[in-house]
Amino acid sequence: MTKNPIFRGAASALITPLTKDGVDYDAFGKLIDWQIGEGIDALVIAGTTGEGATLSDAEHREVLRFAAERIGGRVPAIAGTGSNDTAYAIELTKYACSVGYDAMLVVTPYYNKATQKGLVASFTAIADAATKPLILYNVPSRTGVNIEPSTYAALADHPMIGGIKEANGNISKIVETAALVEGKLDIFSGNDDQIVPILSMGGAGVISVLSNVLPKQTHEICQKFFDGDVAGAAKLQCRYLPLANALFSEVNPIPVKAAMSAMGFCENYVRLPLTVMEDAHRETLLMRMREQGLNV
């Protein structure tokens, strides 16, 4: 058991419905209600998939406030509060704690990057300011910096660091991390094609893009594993792999926005520097969605 268990199962890294005029809160509220009704285990708000990087400070705070209120404690609520500016990440983290979040998802500093020593110092400063646990988010393909297993080990005893979202894609490094942190941190898959492998190493679940589209089914992958049906979990992992791959045929969240728009949840609108999905990729995505019985 970890010191700060946050959730087990599937959490949606939720899109933020946007239009040219701003956040579509009506659509956002309906999406949150649908996700919870479908059995999702937790919701992540204003992370990468939620286009947190292009929300203004005022928008970011209002999105967090609105979502926390709409979730209303029905499932754990996790706020994306990371930044390449540690001071800003601290302020967002304090705000998210004040409006009712159960945990924060804090990405490694991007662009300016950091040494491993700098990562320890930055994450420690944010955790020291938090009253709810952090999930450290490692996605070197986007940030240009990797959290090394020894760095996780150095942070694992902090009372406000409760988990890891690991999206480095390197299973060997994840195994090394699991060995070093010795159960002190929950490990969540950050890649939809690695849910079962990470669960098999004692992982607690996934923070998922796929579950925007298939919340019930992504939960079921995890639940089957927890119930001891490893073969069943693996079968589902393989069944949904073509759709998961299509959702990453362009940079996230471009495809998932197209998918959710096709399902009627939002406009197919992303903010620059992102642009809407190329037609050929979108047709493949819609085909993969139809293969899973979705009416698009």
pLDDT digits (tens, 9 = 90+) for 34-91: 999 999 999 999 999 999 999 999 999 999 999 999 999 999 999 999 999 999 999 9
The proportion of the chain whose per-residue pLDDT surpasses 70, expressed as a percent, equals 99
**Predicted local distance difference test score (pLDDT) of residue 1:** 43
5: pLDDT confidence band, cut at 50, 70 and 90?
Answer: confident
pLDDT tens-digit series, residues 103-160: 999 999 999 999 999 999 999 999 999 999 999 999 999 999 999 999 999 999 999 9
For residue 155, the model assigns a pLDDT of 98
Residue 222: give the domain boundaries: 9-227
Q: Comparing C-alpha atoms, which of 278, 206, 191 is closest to residue 270? A: 278
Q: Is residue 258 situated within a structural domain?
A: no
Tell whether 147 is covered by a domain.
Answer: yes
pLDDT at 272: 97
295, part of any domain: no
Q: What is residue 135's predicted lDDT score, i.e. its pLDDT?
A: 98
Tell whether 40 is covered by a domain. yes
- Residue listed under structure tokens 């406009």: 267
The CATH number covering residue 103 comes to 3.20.20.70
> Predicted confidence band at 3 (pLDDT cuts at 50, 70, 90)?
low
**What value does the mean pLDDT of the chain take?**
97
Residue 157 lies in a domain: yes
24-45 residue pLDDT tens: 999 999 999 999 999 999 999 9
The pLDDT of 220-243, averaged and rounded, is 98
- pLDDT tens digits, one per residue of 167-189: 999 999 999 999 999 999 999 99
Whether 2 has a pLDDT exceeding 60, the answer reads no
224 catalytically annotated? no
Whether residue 276 is contained in a domain is answered as: no
What does each C-alpha distance from 144 to 104, 109, 115, 153, 195 come to in angstroms? 21, 9, 11, 21, 23
Q: Give tens-digit pLDDT for 186-208.
A: 999 999 999 999 999 999 999 99
State the total domains in the chain: 1
pLDDT classification of 4: cutoffs 50, 70, 90 = low
Active site residue 88: no
Please identify which residue in the block is written with the tokens 């700060």. 4
Task: Judge whether 253 lies within some domain.
Answer: no
Specify the pTM.
0.97
Q: Which of 101, 132, 152, 165 is catalytic?
A: 165
Catalytic residue (one of 101, 132, 137, 240): 137
Q: Is residue 209 part of a domain?
A: yes
